[in-house]
Homo-oligomer: A and B are copies of this chain.
Amino acid sequence: MKQENKNYLTHHVFFWLKDPSSKEDLGKLLQGLQTLEQIETVRKIYIGVPASTEIRDVVDSSFSASELLFFDDAAGQKIYQDHPLHKKFVDDCSHLWQKVIVYDSTDISF
């Protein structure tokens, strides 16, 4: 069964570092992202870097890091958004990035 019985809200955030060549900055960002796991409404967390898949026009591999979180619903995502640990992450790490894009999807698989 590849589809789950439960329909999650997925919150996928892509980060572009100000200095994409800095391994130190990437390390700090990835370390900061790890702290978000502790927020109680986060059901699953995947922290990533661009994968080495085929280069194609439609594939955007220019980001530095990605954060994929699963929540039960929009209320759970809102609790995360306002949570002190999330605010601390933004305070500690937002100077590192130049751009962020967030995509929130409601899973409708059946």
Q: Spell out A's residues near B (CB within 8 Å).
A: 2-4, 8-12, 14, 30, 34, 37, 42-54, 56, 58-61, 63, 66, 68, 74, 77-78, 81, 100-110
Q: Are A103 and B66 in contact, with the CB atoms below 8 A?
A: yes
Q: Are B107 and A48 in contact, with the CB atoms below 8 A?
A: yes
Q: What is the total number of copies of this protein in its complex? A: 2
Q: Are B104 and A61 in contact, with the CB atoms below 8 A?
A: yes
Q: Are A49 and B102 in contact, with the CB atoms below 8 A?
A: no
Q: Sorted from nearest, which 4 A-B pairs have the closest CB atoms?
A: A48-B105, A51-B104, A51-B106, A53-B104
Q: A10-B68, A68-B10, A100-B58 are in contact. Are A105 and B3 (CB under 8 A)?
A: no
